[in-house]
Structure 1
Amino acid sequence: MTTARGWLTFDCYGTLVDWRSGMESALARVDPARVDDLLAGYHRAEPALQQQRPLLSYREVLRDGLLASAGELGIDVPDGLDTVLADTMPTWQPFAETAEVLQALRAAGWRLAILSNVDDDVIAQTLELLGAPIDVVVTAQEVGSYKPGLAHFEEFRRRAQPAEGRWIHVACSWVHDVVPARRLGVPAVFVDREGEDRDPAQVVGVLPDLTRLPDTLASLDL
């Protein structure tokens, strides 16, 4: 029988699921010539919406963020496409390595959880695509808050009650995930898919993708 190692919590979209490709494909339906601009505008709008209106559902954040970005660019969103991000999000695909890595982690004795800034119905469909069971899921809809707030982490701690030193957070967003994890004393592995310039001394590992995550975790003194 495999000895239990502890808990790994993951951000989902961008860490396990190819968020950028999903966004770009959806935004191409709005204006194929302005995808990069629409995405950049959405990146600016989303955190402001989440901070100023934390009770918005993520479906509403996606819609309002798209409309704000399009408005800045003078783009008219075609009828019915204001919800294209939320409508397509449940179909966005995991990264190529996700299923194999999650399966390897479970085989090594890790329990797996997801802490995600989304609605329950979106994550429910995404879970079917990941290729491995997830033990605990905490959503923004459930806690009424968005990361980088601490509510996702606190709710996970309440439900899972991880043993001291047996919880590591794995994520691609420094601001939304690494920073709040560090505030709570939870070690983090930073999945640096975008090639950011971050201080590696603040995390227990920096990886370009998930491929070597099992080896990185196995090398830690846990």
Structure 2
Amino acid sequence: MTATTVRAVLFDTFGTVVDWRSGIASAFDTVAARHSSRLDSVHLADAWRRRYAPSMQRITSGDRPYTDLDTLHRENLTSVLAEFELPFETSEADVYDLVHAWHELAPWPDSVPGLHALKAQYTIGPLSNGHTALLLEMAKSAGLPWDLIIGSDLTQAYKPDPAAYLRPAAILGLAPAEVMLVAAHNDDLRAARDSGLATAFVARPLEHGSDQSIDLEAESDWDVVADDIVHLAELLHPRLAR
């Protein structure tokens, strides 16, 4: 792979472009304050996130038809609230606000400047498990300068299903090798590479907090390994260097 063979640079979004953990913990704090209470918000955010992949696996395996991420998040939140006894009863407004918090996650500090740099040379967009409405609201909220958004509702597939990687390339009229997936998760990149995409690892050592023990470094010979998205832009196209 050379940078000149890549025409579209697409991004895993949750964890790679935006900081889901801080945003969801903050949403739990906001709900707790509404009830004059306090929660172990980070613990709840982590528990909610742990249900993320298993809920999509049922769809990837064919056990369940495609269902968008808002629905899965709501179902998973119901399980979390049933498992942990909160010191107050959550209202429908609380549940809505918590689910909607996934639409309004803040970007990592390097994300927006790095995306703007890449946009000067490449078509950029998310390659995410989020559906189009979610990703569009996130882009507006976080200032993500995507050229296009191809949500999972359009591909009807969740990663690591090969269709989740190949259908965006087909929609763009590109060969898989002309599309690069950027992710902070080695397993996502493995599936992308198996589908023929170019790959770039961006380190997010605080995605799961200061005690993170996974995805601290590249675990394979990905096409590009970068410290952050600004660094990625520099590596892919030196004239974009700061």
Larger deviation, residues 182-191 vs 85-94: 85-94
Instruction: Quickly say closer, same or farther: Cα 1:151–1:65, change in 2 above 3 A.
Output: same
Are 1:24 and 2:25 matched, yes or no?
yes
Unaligned runs of 5+ in 1: none
TM, length-normalised to structure 2: 0.77
Unaligned runs of 5+ in 2: 33-37, 59-63, 206-211
In structure 2, C-alpha distance between the alignment counterparts of 1:132 and 1:19, rounded to whole Å: 15
| Identity of matched residues, % | 24
Number of corresponding residues: 215
On the 8 A contact 2:176/2:195 being kept in 1, the answer is: no
Are 1:211 and 2:230 matched, yes or no?
yes
In structure 2, C-alpha distance between the alignment counterparts of 1:33 and 1:132, rounded to whole Å: 30
RMSD of aligned Cα (Å):
2.6
* Corresponding residue number in structure 2 for 1:64: 75
Listed as ranges, the matches of 1:55-204 within 5 Å are: 55-75=66-86, 78-80=90-92, 81-107=94-120, 109-129=121-141, 131=143, 133-163=145-175, 165-175=177-187, 177-194=188-205, 196-204=215-223
On the 8 A contact 1:54/1:146 being kept in 2, the answer is: no
In structure 1, C-alpha distance between the alignment counterparts of 2:226 and 2:5, rounded to whole Å: 24
Instruction: Quickly say closer, same or farther: Cα 1:60–1:165, change in 2 above 3 A.
Output: closer
* Corresponding residue number in structure 1 for 2:41: 35
- Secondary structure of the 1:152 match is helix
Are 1:12 and 2:13 matched, yes or no?
yes
In structure 2, C-alpha distance between the alignment counterparts of 1:164 and 1:207, rounded to whole Å: 21
- Secondary structure of the 2:233 match is helix
On the 8 A contact 1:46/1:65 being kept in 2, the answer is: yes
In structure 2, C-alpha distance between the alignment counterparts of 1:144 and 1:48, rounded to whole Å: 17
- Secondary structure of the 1:112 match is strand
TM, length-normalised to structure 1: 0.83
- Secondary structure of the 1:128 match is helix
On the 8 A contact 1:170/1:191 being kept in 2, the answer is: yes
Matched to 1:216, the amino acid is L
Instruction: Quickly say closer, same or farther: Cα 1:77–1:210, change in 2 above 3 A.
Output: farther
